[in-house]
Amino acid sequence: MHSITVRPESSDDIRAIDVVHISAFGGEAEAQLVSTLRESASYNRELSLVAELGGRIVGHVLLTRVPLRRNGDEKHLLVLGPISVVPSQTHRGIGSKLIQASIQLAKEKGYGSIVALGHPEYYKRFGFVLAKDLGVSCNLPAPEDALTVKEIVDGNLAGGGHIEYPEPFVELY
Ligand SMILES: CC(C)(COP(=O)(O)OP(=O)(O)OC[C@H]1O[C@@H](n2cnc3c(N)ncnc32)[C@H](O)[C@@H]1OP(=O)(O)O)[C@@H](O)C(=O)NCCC(=O)NCCS
């Protein structure tokens, strides 16, 4: 039985990462988003994690540094996503490993918070809460209840703020 390894992406992983997102989401939009971000100033290879099982890439999560603005102040946090696991390997904790590794990486890099847009019930188990409950909004036309945040540093989001997702995310939504 192989174990799951989570590590930063390498240039050899790019095609496999596309395949993961296309098979998991059932379309090309998220793979295209990752490709576009990879070519943008927002991209940092250290913040792009793959899950490997027996030498095969079976999951991927991208973290992207974004600004949160409040009353003229600006701080940066990490967007978690897209995240996906190939359908044949779901329900065995790979998604959880990717999220836990993301939280650990955010801590190591000194970020105060992470934001995730998607299935709130999934993210809640990792300590994410609804962004609106902390007064946090974003520039995407997504349902309010789909935006969740996790403070890595207690009180980091006190007072709330507005998150500016980079342009490629805006184009996707
Ligand atoms: C969501 C996803 C990353 C989870 O990966 P995974 O490796 O199966 O995750 P884990 O094994 O750690 O956890 C599985 C649990 O997550 C929960 N879960 C999965 N998808 C969920 C969803 N859409 N909403 C709420 N909970 C969900 C289930 O409770 C599941 O529990 P079970 O295995 O007892 O059924 C994977 O299903 C996937 O790639 N989905 C398609 C892409 C996607 O929706 N990405 C997230 C966008 S926000």
The pTM for the full model equals 0.96
**Mean confidence (pLDDT) of the chain:** 96
Task: Please state, in angstroms and rounded to a whole number, the distance separating the CA atoms of residues 17 and 152.
Answer: 27
* Domain CATH for 138: 3.40.630.30
pLDDT for the residue 42:
87
- Say if CB 157 and CB 149 are below 8 A apart: yes
Q: Which of 25, 86, 92, 119 to mutate to test the pocket of ligand 1 (most atoms within 8 A of CB)?
A: 119
Domains held by the chain: number: 1
Distance 97 CA to ligand 1 centre (A): 12
pLDDT-derived band at 70, boundaries 50, 70, 90: very high
Give the separation between CA 124 and CA 168, rounded to whole angstroms: 26
Q: Mind listing the pLDDT tens digit for each residue in 125-146?
A: 999 999 999 999 999 998 989 9
Q: Which residues contact 43 (CB under 8 A, 6 or more apart)?
A: 37, 64
Q: pLDDT higher for 41 or 128?
A: 128
Structure confidence at residue 157 (pLDDT): 97
Domain that holds residue 34: 4-172
Distance in angstroms (rounded) separating the CA atoms of residues 129 and 157: 12
